[in-house]
């Protein structure tokens, strides 16, 4: 079954009876209205500038409720389950670039899940409430120059001195890093085993000793500013610790489930859009006296790609349904992330080929997504990392 409105899947059964949920119509129409009015008309400009105005865009989204869909109503959220967050993520795929949905994902589903689950009431009031409202821009400080997918290998330290942590080190590839008001920082707080010595800390980005070294010039995701950041004797109150000291690695692994599912969801609509725009273009473009689309190799390939997208959507929805029920979906989330990374490459590469010379220009959407969606196989855990996780759950990963 092809689901035309992505949010329809999540508006079945008991979900629509939630007292906090306005209506499924709200999810189907409001995100698109905001995208059409407040985002897509400016995307080309923001892509050229290498940055979109995160505070402005997030405030609009925050006022509409889309930065806290699955967050508690006590802190300004809608109080819905995670499936609604995924429905919003699919709708955000209508943004005509990858960078802005990615930054929204960091704000709504990557920097805040651990704070929501394990943070103190005071921390939630200080950081979660304004983040949900769109008054704060959040970033996630995990990756480092020598530790991307290998989270256990991070070197940044947060040494307790009195009632403060003193932070030294640096973070790399930080989405919204040059605009962020605070960072959900993962740092080593002891010298113990690498999976037990890390903690998550809410770090205000205006503290002395925080240096945004540069905004990174990237192949794609051009409208999302990505920064390299250094910390030099940065002092932050110990009360900014999220949950328990030493539990940061575990908390981050839990966050990764939501992050990877969100990433898969935001890739579905762009792939559908690219396929449809390719159908429209090849139906008009004539080569050797007939439309390109009439070549069997073209229409068969497009049909095959559309089928693969629907299969990926089904896997995503299964994983989300299990996750909402309280299950560990690390294996399914990793499978979906792996498949999404590879399928986005297949879709964009195949479709770009059918556009011919036009596909090699910056004038068409397929070339932008060819660059943007390449990150799907790298960010949030590489394809190889996903394969290792899947092998571990299959009990076929060689033991050290």
Q: Mind telling me the catalytic residues?
A: 259
Is residue 65 within 8 A of residue 80, CB to CB? The reply is no
Angle among Cα 333, 147, 369 to the nearest 5 degrees reads: 55
Interatomic CA distance for residues 94 and 252, integer angstroms: 28
Strand spans (E) along 90-220? 138-141, 157-161, 164-175, 182-188, 198-204, 210-215
Interatomic CA distance for residues 10 and 16, integer angstroms: 8
- Strands 198-204 vs 182-188: parallel, antiparallel or unpaired: antiparallel
Handedness of CA 394, 397, 399, 400 (dihedral sign): negative
Helical H runs in 285-399? 296-324, 330-355, 365-372, 383-393
Interatomic CA distance for residues 69 and 229, integer angstroms: 30
Cβ count near 74 (within 10 Å): 12
Taking the chain, what is the end-to-end CA distance rounded to the nearest angstrom?
44
Interatomic CA distance for residues 348 and 301, integer angstroms: 12
Look at residue 30 and give its three-state secondary structure: helix
Q: Which of these, 340, 370, 330, 331, lies nearest to 354 by C-alpha position?
A: 370
Backbone angles phi, psi at 368, to 5 degrees: -65, -45
Interatomic CA distance for residues 146 and 153, integer angstroms: 8
Interatomic CA distance for residues 309 and 133, integer angstroms: 33
Q: Which of these, 50, 28, 9, lies nearest to 94 by C-alpha position?
A: 28
């Amino acid at each position: 079954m092809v689901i035309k409105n992505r949010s329809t899947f999540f508006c079945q059964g008991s979900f629509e009876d939630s007292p906090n949920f306005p209506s499924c119509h709200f999810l189907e129409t409001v995100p698109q209205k905001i995208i059409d009015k407040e985002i897509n008309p400016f995307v080309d400009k923001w892509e050229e500038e290498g940055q979109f105005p995160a505070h402005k865009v997030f405030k609009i989204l925050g006022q509409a409720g889309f930065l806290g869909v699955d967050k508690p109503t006590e802190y300004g959220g809608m109080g819905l389950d995670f499936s609604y967050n995924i429905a919003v993520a699919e709708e955000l795929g209508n943004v005509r670039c990858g960078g802005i949905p990615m930054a929204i994902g960091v704000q709504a589903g990557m920097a805040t899940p651990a704070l929501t689950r394990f943070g103190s009431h005071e921390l939630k009031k200080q950081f979660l409430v304004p983040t949900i409202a769109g008054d704060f821009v959040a970033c996630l400080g995990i990756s480092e120059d020598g530790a991307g997918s290998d989270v256990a290998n991070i070197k940044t330290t947060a040494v307790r001195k009195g009632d403060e942590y003193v932070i030294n080190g640096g973070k790399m590839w930080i989405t919204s890093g040059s605009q962020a008001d605070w960072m959900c920082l993962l740092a080593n707080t002891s010298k113990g085993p690498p999976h037990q010595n890390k903690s998550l800390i809410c770090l205000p980005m205006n503290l002395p000793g925080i240096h945004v070294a540069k905004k990174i010039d990237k192949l794609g995701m051009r409208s999302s500013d990505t920064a390299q950041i250094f910390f030099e004797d940065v002092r932050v109150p110990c009360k900014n610790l999220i949950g328990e000291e030493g539990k940061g690695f575990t908390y981050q692994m839990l966050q990764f489930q939501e992050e990877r599912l969100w990433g898969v969801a935001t890739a579905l609509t762009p792939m559908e859009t690219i396929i449809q725009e390719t159908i429209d273009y090849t139906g008009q473009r004539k080569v050797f006296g007939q439309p390109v689309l009439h070549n069997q190799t073209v229409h068969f390939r497009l049909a095959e790609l559309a089928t693969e997208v629907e299969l990926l959507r089904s896997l995503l929805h299964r994983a989300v349904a299990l996750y909402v029920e309280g299950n560990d979906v690390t294996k399914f989330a990793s499978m979906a992330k792996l498949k999404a990374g590879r399928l986005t490459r297949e879709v964009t590469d195949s479709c770009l080929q059918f556009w011919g010379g036009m596909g090699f220009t910056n004038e068409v959407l397929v070339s932008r997504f060819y660059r943007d969606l390449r990150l799907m196989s790298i960010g949030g855990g590489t394809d190889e990392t996903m394969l290792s996780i899947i092998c571990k759950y299959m009990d076929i990963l060689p033991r050290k």
